[in-house]
Amino acid sequence: MRAVAVFPHQHDIRIIDVPEPPRPTGHQVLLRVLEVGICGTDRDIAAFEYGDPPIGSDHLILGHEAVAEVIQLGDDVTTLRVGDLVVPTVRRPCSDPNCPACQAHRQDFCTTGEFTERGIKHAHGYLTELVLEDDHNLIAVPTQLTDVAALVEPLSIGAKAVEQAQAVQTRLPWERQRARILVLGAGPIGMLGAAAMAVSGYDTIVYSREPGDSPRADRVRELGATYLSTEQTPIDKIPSVTGPIDVIYEAVGIASVAFAATEALAPNGLLILTGIPAPAEPAALPLDRIMKNIVLKNQAIVGTVNAARSAFELSVQKLEQAMYLVPHSIRGIITKRVPFDAAPEVLRQPHGVKDIVRVHS
């Protein structure tokens, strides 16, 4: 069967032939992969800047935003049935008995850094025809969501951010008003995060560089959020347009933008960082003013990466809600679907919001 693999030492990405997986045993499930979404992480791996093949392998099979159909079950699987639609989680625990996070099945908080990630770090991914996966790494998705289920994984990043925001803000021991959220960036993580927040009833503003009359800005407005363009509103003028911000959801991966935006944060506000910045020239920022504000206004900064089962489940719920309320806008986040053969090319190209590789239809 075919798989899309990156060969970091040869600086090559190509379709290779790999053996089919054996029959599932125990808690294993055999999956027929339907679609795999492509994100910035995949493109960094395809540019040989990130990611690691499994130990002892010269290549890494890509793909971590997968949707698949269950086709065969090991004898001990009781929670899934043949024909179910599933999305796999990405990160697998380290084996260190002293890692409290992995021991508690919260490898998204792994303390050793020895975790693996399917399609990213030391474990093959899902850009192939058939895969074996343990049942506890699979999230069942209602079949009505089939055409948008590739969005579950990228939306799980926003869902974990929501869980983190709620956990951190339990420090404020009073009934919260309707929170105002500023999303930085209108890429897939920003767009999906904004969709989840807008349908949850938060006052959601997306700040990005595309002009106010661009298709992306229209998409944001269709989601029920407000769009602010960097062309019209310099970062320091955001609060004068929106009022003070309770939570900033950073999905732009540019450190200078993220920290400059803290000046829009309300007292007790929270900055959640999800982007992994590329190396850049050091930026001149008024760090003493930023720090003074953070201290005097009791503000918090939290970084978040990856997502646990609970965030994937929340992601499925939010996607269902969004598909009920704004189906056209959610489908519009998917800019392109390409056949399997085109995957290496699409990984090398500049992209739309969310490109998806069709493995089986």
Contacts with ligand BGC, residue ranges (CB under 6 A): 39, 41, 64, 90-91, 117, 120, 157, 305-306
CB of 329 to ligand BGC, least distance (A): 22
Q: Is the Cβ of residue 117 or residue 210 nearer to ligand BGC in the bound state?
A: 117
Residues in the chain, how many?
361
Residue type, 71: I
Scanning the chain, the segments in alpha helix (DSSP H) are 40-46, 100-103, 152-168, 188-199, 215-222, 238-242, 255-260, 287-296, 309-325, 327-333, 343-348
| 156-159-160 Cα angle (round to 5) | 90
Scanning 273-308, the segments in alpha helix (DSSP H) are 287-296
Q: Is the Cβ of residue 162 or residue 326 nearer to ligand BGC in the bound state?
A: 162
**Integer angstrom CA distances of residue 238 from 192, 206, 228, 230, 300:** 21, 11, 8, 9, 19
Q: Is the Cβ of residue 110 or residue 228 nearer to ligand BGC in the bound state?
A: 110
Number of H helices, E strands in the chain: 11, 19
CB of 307 to ligand BGC, least distance (A): 6
Question: Beta 116-118 vs 91-92: how paired, if at all?
Answer: antiparallel
- CB neighbours of residue 304 within 10 Å: 21
Q: Is the Cβ of residue 262 or residue 304 nearer to ligand BGC in the bound state?
A: 304
Cα–Cα dist 338/342, whole Å: 6
CB of 181 to ligand BGC, least distance (A): 21
Q: Is the Cβ of residue 44 or residue 129 nearer to ligand BGC in the bound state?
A: 44
CB of 151 to ligand BGC, least distance (A): 12
Residue type, 44: D
| 173-270-319 Cα angle (round to 5) | 95
CB of 104 to ligand BGC, least distance (A): 17
CB of 240 to ligand BGC, least distance (A): 34
Q: Is the Cβ of residue 151 or residue 179 nearer to ligand BGC in the bound state?
A: 151
CB of 108 to ligand BGC, least distance (A): 7
Confirm if 255 and 230 have CB atoms less than 8 A apart: no
CB of 223 to ligand BGC, least distance (A): 21
Q: Is the Cβ of residue 28 or residue 41 nearer to ligand BGC in the bound state?
A: 41
Nearest to 113 by CA among 128, 127, 125, 101: 101
Q: Is the Cβ of residue 153 or residue 203 nearer to ligand BGC in the bound state?
A: 153
Show the 3-state SS of 98-116. Answer: CCHHHHCCCHHHCCCCCCE
What sign does the dihedral 47-51-56-60 (CA atoms) show? Answer: negative
